[in-house]
Structure 1
Amino acid sequence: MDKMILNVASIFQNDMILQRNKPVAVWGEAGAKSKVKVTIQGQSVECISDEKGKWLVNLSDLKASVKEELIVESGDERIVLTDIAVGEVWLAGGQSNMEFYMYYDKDYESVLPLCNDQLIRFYDVPKVASDEHKARFSYDLFGKWRKADEENLKYFSAVAYYFAKSLKDDLNVPIGIIGCNWGGSRAACWMDKQTVEKYGSVWLQDYEKGLLEIKDMDSEREAYFSSDLSDPMKVFDDEIRNKLLRGVPEEELLRIVAQWQENGNGPVIGPWHEWRPTCLYEYMIKTIVPFSIKGVIYYQGESDENHPDIYENMLEGLVGCWRKAFNQDIPFIMTMLAPFEGGGENYVVLRSQQKLATQRISNLWCASIGDVGNSYDIHPKEKRPVGKRLALLARGHVYNEDVLCDAPVGKALSFDENRLIIECENVDGGLFTKGDSLNGLRVFDELNNEIDKSTYKTLIENNKVEITFDKSIKGKKCRVEYAQAPYYEVNIYNMAEIPMLPFVLEI
C-alpha cells in the first residue's frame, strides 16, 4: 500500500478567507488512488486522488460566515483548518506600486491605531522566480494569512489595504486579499509562454537577445543572488529602494540614481531573474490557481515602457490568461499610471493603451489617479485615493451598486462660434474644479501649433467644458488634449471626486 501523505495547497491555512456565493476549489496531495473528503459548512465532497496522489474537489457555494473549520480527511489522516472566514477574495497583482507597503504610505501613522479588523486578511504569495530562489531564501514572512492589526499592517500592500477597508465598510463581510506582485515586473512576466508568444513576442525576443550578451552566466547569476535585490525578504532594506519609496528631494534622487548607474549597476536579466518573461506566472500565479476569487485589482505598466504601443495587447493577453487559469470570468480593475516626470513620453502612450483596453476587453475597468502623482517619485505616497477608487469601481460594476464610480472623460468636441465645447461622460450631478483654473488642458491649431492660453478662457458649464476664444474659430481644425504628458496636474472632478481621465479630441 502506498504511504498516505495528506496535504493541502499552501494557500489553505488557518485564518484564511474563502470566496462566498460561488464554487470553491480545494486541492492538495495524498496517497495515489486514495479517497479524500473535504467538509465545511455542513457539506462534504469526496474525490479519488490520481496516480501521483494529486486531488481536487469543488465545494458548492458557501455563505458569508466566520469561525468556520475546513476538514480534509483521507484514510487515517485528518487536517483541520480553523478560524476560517467566508466573504470576498480579491487578487492584488502588478508591480511596485501595488507591492508598496503600508509602512511607506503617507497616512500610515494615523491609520495604524485604527486598523484592527479581524475580518480583513492578507495572503502574500511567496516571491519566487526560479528554483534557485526556493533553494536560497527563507519565506517565513510570505505565504501566511495575516489579519489587519498593528503588528501586521506595515507589510500589507497599501493600495490593497485601502481597497479592502473600503469594501469591508460597504459590504460588511470578510475581505481577503491575495498579494501576487513584484516590483519592476513587466506584464510578460505574468503570462504563460503561449500567451506571450501571441501578444508580446517582442519581449521574448528582447530576453533571448539579452541572454546572448551575457558573457559569464555563472558569475552574473552569483552576483545577482549575492545582492540584496535578489532577496525578497530584504528588497526594501537597501539604501536606494528605501529612498525611492520614502521619497527624497528630486536633486538628491537624481544624484543617487546617476551614481548607481556609474557604478555599473543595472539589470542583467538571466534565467534566474524575476523580470524574465513567464517566470512569475510559472512560479507564483500557478501556485494559487484555481483558488476561487471574486476579481483582480491590478497596478502595473511602468516597466512596459520599452514597448508601450503593444500594451493594450499585453493586457488582453494577461486578462485572458488569468481567466483561463482560474477557470473563472473574473473582473479586472486596473489603475491608470500615475503622473511621473521621469516616465518619458511613453507614459502617455501607455495610458492611452490602458484606456483602449477598457473599451475592448469585457469586464475591465480603469481607476483614474491623475491627482496623486509625483513629478520625481515613481512611488507616490498617497495610496488611500487609489484603493478607494478601485473599490468604488468594484461596488459599481461588480457588486451592481447604484453609485457613480467611473471617471469623467471628454467624449466629443464641437464648435459654437467662438467656443469649443467638450461633451463629457460619467458626470452625473455635474463637474467641478479644485482651484481657480482648469489644469492640464491644451489646444492646438491645424498646423499642430499650441494656441496661446492667453487667447482663450476655460470654464465648466452644464456638465461640459467650454473653451471661449477672443474671436470666432468656427470651421477651423483644432485638437484639444487633456493630461497628455508624462507628469501632469489635473483638477476636474465629477461628484464622486474622481479626476477626469486623459483624452485627445479633434474637430
Structure 2
Amino acid sequence: MKKSLVFFLVAITLSLSNAWAVSVPSIFGSHMVLQQNAEVTVWGSAKPGEEVTVTGSWDNKPVTTKGSNLAKWSVKLNTPAAGGPYTVTIKGHNTITLEDVLTGEVWLCSGQSNMEWSAAAGIDHAEQEVPKATYPEIRFFSVGHQTADGPQLDVQGEWVVCTPETMKHFSAIGYFFGRELYQALDVPVGLINSSWGGTPAEVWVSPETVDKDPVLQKAAAAQKEVPYGPVQPGKAYNAMIAPLTPYKIAGALWYQGESNTNAPEAYATMLPALINNWRSDWGYEFPFYYVQIAPYKDYGPQAGAVLRDAQRRSLRVPNTGMVVVSDIGDNDDIHPRNKLDVGKRLANLALNKAYGKTDRPASGPLFREMKVEGRKVRLYFDYAESGLVSKSKELPNFEVAGEDGKFVKADAKIDGSTVVVQAKSVKKPVAVRYEWSNTVTPGLFNKAGLPASTFRTENVTAKQE
C-alpha cells in the first residue's frame, strides 16, 4: 500500500513538473538562424507569474519576464552581426539550451508545388548538385503540412544543417537561393520553407482578408475541393504562417499561382492582399519577391497569360520584385525541372534590391508605358537601360488592337531600349499585348539575358478572344 502511494506521489510530482515547464515553439531550436543586427522576439509558454530568463551567449545579457495570466511570455533580444555558433538559454522552472545558433539572414519560402519541389522529386543536374550541398552555415526549417480554423501557436518542424541528405528533401529553389546569398554575402543563411503543392493563394491569407473583398470572395468561391490539399481561405495561413509571424525574417519568397488560373484576373487583387496581410502580421514591410508562373499548355484559354500579367501588375506594391521564368519553363510540364536558375534569379533580385549589389541583374524588361506614333506604337520598358535584344531573327509574340478591340499579330522591332510595333490592318492602334497565350517561346530580353514579362497595356479595355 505504502509503495503504491509513493508511486502515486512521484507521478503527481512529475505531472506538475511537466505542467510548469517553460517551453518554446519548434521554430526555436538548436541549429537555428536568427536575423542578424536585429531586435528579435523569443516567446513561449510558462506558468502564470513564473519568471523566465533568456540569455544569448553573444553578449551574455539576461532578459527576464514573467508568464502572463494566459501562460505566455516573450522577450526581445538584440542580435549581433553575422556569426556564431552561439547558445541561447531559456530558464524558468526548467532550462532549455539551444546550441549551435547562428546569426545571419533569414528568408521565408512559400507557395505551392514549384516552391516545395525538391531535388529528391527530380531536378536538372541533381547528380552534380546534391553531393556538393555541404554548407554548415546554411540551415533549413521545413514546416509540416497542417490546417486549422484559427491562428495556431506552433508548427511542425525542426532546424537542420545543410548537408547533401537534408538538401535533397528541402525546397530546391530555396536551397539555390540560399547558396547564392551565402556565397555573395559570406553570412549564415536560414531558410524556412512553408509550402504546400496544389494550394491556391486563398489558403495562405487570413479568412478576414478574403471576407472584406468581394473580388477575393468570388475567387475563393470558384475553388473546387481537391484530394491533395485545402482550398478554403485561411486553412494553411492559420496553421503554417500565423505561428511564424513573430519570428524576425529578412524577407519572403513566393512561387504560386498555378492553382489560381481558374480565376486569373482576381490574382491582381489576391497577391497584393496576401503581401499586405503578411506584412501587417509581421509588423514591418519586408521585401517580398516572387516567381511568375511558367508557360504551360493545359491552363484554360489564355488563363496562364492573364495570371502572369496579374502577377506583373502586382509589382505596384512597394518593395516587391518578380522573376520571369518563361525561357526556362516547360510547356508540357507544370513543374519545370530547372530550379537552379530560378533560385539564382531570385538571389540576384534580392542581392540587387535588398542588399545593394547593383551589379546583379534584378529583372528582365517590364512594360512601363506606350506612345502612339501614327500607325505605330512605341513601347517603353524598365530594366532595359542598356538596350533590348532578341534571340531570334524576328521578334515574336506581339499583338496590336485598334479601336474595335480586336488583337492581331504585329510586326515588332527593337529600337534601342524600346520596341516599335505595328500591323498593316490596324490604322489607329490603341492597345498592345505580348506573350498572350498559355504557351510561349520568349523573344524579348534585356542585355543581362533575362526575358521580358507577359503584359497587356492597361489604359484600354480590349476584347479578349
- The SS at the match of 2:370 is strand
Question: Displacement, 1:416?
Answer: 5.4
Percent sequence identity over aligned pairs:
30
- The SS at the match of 1:8 is coil
Q: Deviations over 1:221-256 (max 9, x none)?
A: xxxxxxxxxxxxxxxxxxxxxxxxxxxxxxxxxxxx
For 2:338, the equivalent position in structure 1 comes to 382
Q: Which runs of 5+ in 1 are unaligned?
A: 211-265
Matched, 1:161 2:175: yes
Say whether the 8 Å CA contact 1:94–1:180 is kept in structure 2: yes
For 2:3, the equivalent position in structure 1 comes to none
Say whether the 8 Å CA contact 1:298–1:332 is kept in structure 2: yes
Say whether the 8 Å CA contact 2:113–2:197 is kept in structure 1: yes
Q: Deviations over 1:72-100 (max 9, x none)?
A: 1114x211111111100000011111111
Q: 1:89 aligns with which of 96, 102, 106?
A: 106
Q: 1:52 aligns with which of 57, 70, 82?
A: 70
For 1:462-481, what aligned pairs fall within 5 Å after superposition? 462-467=416-421, 476-477=428-429, 479-481=431-433
For 1:64-143, what aligned pairs fall within 5 Å after superposition? 64-75=82-93, 77-103=94-120, 104-130=122-148, 143=157
Q: 2:258 aligns with which of 302, 320, 327?
A: 302
Say whether the 8 Å CA contact 1:90–1:296 is kept in structure 2: yes
Counterpart Cα distance in 1 of 2:145 and 2:425: 60
For 2:159, the equivalent position in structure 1 comes to 145
Say whether the 8 Å CA contact 1:99–1:157 is kept in structure 2: yes
TM-align CA RMSD: 2.7
For 2:40, the equivalent position in structure 1 comes to 24
Question: Displacement, 1:267?
Answer: 2.0
Aligned residues: 432
Q: 1:186 aligns with which of 185, 200, 207?
A: 200
* Structure 1 residues 203 and 32: alpha-carbon distance in aligned structure 2, compared to 1, 3 A threshold: farther
Question: Displacement, 1:444?
Answer: 4.1
Counterpart Cα distance in 1 of 2:415 and 2:290: 31
Say whether the 8 Å CA contact 2:398–2:421 is kept in structure 1: no
- The SS at the match of 2:165 is coil
Question: Displacement, 1:448?
Answer: 4.8
Counterpart Cα distance in 2 of 1:420 and 1:438: 15
Counterpart Cα distance in 1 of 2:399 and 2:101: 54
* Structure 1 residues 284 and 411: alpha-carbon distance in aligned structure 2, compared to 1, 3 A threshold: closer
Counterpart Cα distance in 2 of 1:297 and 1:490: 24
Supply the AA of the counterpart residue of 1:62: P
Say whether the 8 Å CA contact 1:339–1:372 is kept in structure 2: no
Matched, 1:366 2:331: no
Q: 2:448 aligns with which of 496, 499, 503?
A: 496
Question: Displacement, 1:110?
Answer: 1.5
Say whether the 8 Å CA contact 1:308–1:346 is kept in structure 2: yes
Deviating more after overlay: 164-173 vs 191-200 = 191-200
Say whether the 8 Å CA contact 1:409–1:500 is kept in structure 2: yes
Question: Displacement, 1:148?
Answer: 2.0
For 1:347-426, what aligned pairs fall within 5 Å after superposition? 347-359=304-316, 361-403=317-359, 404-414=361-371, 420-426=377-383
Q: Give the structure-1-normalised TM-score.
A: 0.79
Say whether the 8 Å CA contact 2:312–2:455 is kept in structure 1: no
Question: Displacement, 1:418?
Answer: 7.2
Question: Displacement, 1:18?
Answer: 0.8
Say whether the 8 Å CA contact 2:376–2:429 is kept in structure 1: no
Supply the AA of the counterpart residue of 1:318: L
* Structure 1 residues 447 and 298: alpha-carbon distance in aligned structure 2, compared to 1, 3 A threshold: same
* Structure 1 residues 420 and 357: alpha-carbon distance in aligned structure 2, compared to 1, 3 A threshold: closer
Deviating more after overlay: 293-302 vs 305-314 = 305-314
Q: Which runs of 5+ in 2 are unaligned?
A: 1-12, 461-465
Question: Displacement, 1:55?
Answer: 1.0
Matched, 1:282 2:241: no
Higher relative contact order (CA 8 A, sep 6+): 1
Supply the AA of the counterpart residue of 1:459: K
Q: Deviations over 1:245-274 (max 9, x none)?
A: xxxxxxxxxxxxxxxxxxxxx7269xxx52
For 1:224, the equivalent position in structure 2 comes to none
Q: 1:459 aligns with which of 397, 413, 425?
A: 413
